[in-house]
Amino acid sequence: MSNKRYIAIALVFGMACSGPSQKQEAVLDTPTSGKLIIAADEALRPIVEAQIAAFEGIYTQADIEAVYLPEQQAVEYMLADSAVLAVVTRTLTAGEKEQLQAGKIWPAETRVAGDALAVILNAANPDTLFTTEQLVGVLRGEQQQWKELNAASSLGDIQVVFDNARSGAVRVLKDSLAGVSALPPNCFAVNSNPEVVAHVQANPNAIGIIGVSWVSDTDDSLSQQFIRDVKIAALYSAAATDYVQPYQAYLAQKFYPLQRSVYVLSREARAGLGSGFTSFVASERGQRIVLKAGLVPATMPLRIVQLTEEAEYLTQ
C-alpha cells in the first residue's frame, strides 16, 4: 500500500471523528447551568422576564424558557411535570401537594415579592376613587351604571374586564372582598394584561383589573406607556384613613386593599437550575430587581422615605 493511500485513510478517519456529525457535549444541569422551563402567571410577566434576563446575563450556560399562562393553568403545567417551577400568586393547595407527594416529589414554596392588583380606568373617566363597598357592589352586579357610583357621571353601563377567567386576579378579588363570588355578566375576560389595558383605553365605561407590575416600573417603556394610556384608581384604605394607589410604600405598609404575594413553586427533586434560579430571585440581586420593578421585596430590609406629603418611596 502506498504512502498516499495511508494518508487518504487517515484523512477519512479524522473526518469521521471530528466532522459535523459529532454531537456536542450537553450542558450539565446545575444551579447555574442547563435548561429550565418555568410556568408563570401572565400577570407577572414583566418581573419574571426581568429576573430571567439578569440570571442568564450572569450565568451564560443557563437557558431558561418561561411559558406564560393564567395562574391556575401555570400551576397545572408544573403539576403535570411540563415545568420545574411555577411563578404565581398563591401557594399549593393541600390536594396539589398530595398529588406531588404521591409521586415522591416534595414541593418547595418560596415567597419572593409583595404584589397587588391595580384598578385602571379610561383617561376620560372623572371617577378615580373607590371604596371597598363600591367595588364589591360593582363585582356583585348591584351597581351596574356609573350614575349609581356618582350621580353626576355622564357615563353609561359599567364594564369590568380581567386578563383571564382562570387568572389570579379573579381569585384575589374573591378572596379579598367579602361577598364577591360569582361575577355578574358585565364582568368578562380577555387574554392578557396588555389586552385589558387596550380595552380600557378604548372604552370610557370600562374598569380593568391588572397586575400592578405592568404599571409600576418607572424605567420600563411599556409600563410608562400604559400609565399614560389609562388612569390608576385609588382605593379607600381604613388603615391609612385615605384613598391610596398601589405604590410600593403603601404595599409595604399593607395599606392597599388588593394585595397579594408572589411565590416560586418548585417540584425539583435535586439541586439543579430550578433551585439556582429560585435562590437568585430571593437573593440581594434578585430582590433589587423586585424593588426596581415597583414591587415589594420579600427577603431584604426596607425603609420608607417620605419626600413630600403626597408621595412616599421605598429604599433599601
| Helical H segments across 19-157, by residue range | 45-58, 71-79, 94-102, 132-139
| Helical H segments across the chain, by residue range | 3-18, 45-58, 71-79, 94-102, 132-139, 168-176, 193-202, 221-229, 248-252, 273-282, 284-292
pTM: 0.84
Task: Indicate whether 4 pLDDT > 50.
Answer: no
Percentage of residues in the chain having pLDDT higher than 90: 62
More confident site: 89 or 218:
89
Domains defined for the chain, CATH in brackets:
34-114+261-315 (3.40.190.10), 115-259 (3.40.190.10)
Task: Indicate whether 17 pLDDT > 70.
Answer: no
What is the average pLDDT across 267-285? 95
> What's residue 39's pLDDT?
98
Task: Indicate whether 42 pLDDT > 90.
Answer: yes
Task: Indicate whether 300 pLDDT > 80.
Answer: no
Pick from 84, 44, 112: which is nearest to 263 by CA?
A: 112
H or E stretch including 67?
strand 62-69
Three-class SS of residue 219?
Answer: coil
> What's residue 176's pLDDT?
80
More confident site: 240 or 307:
240
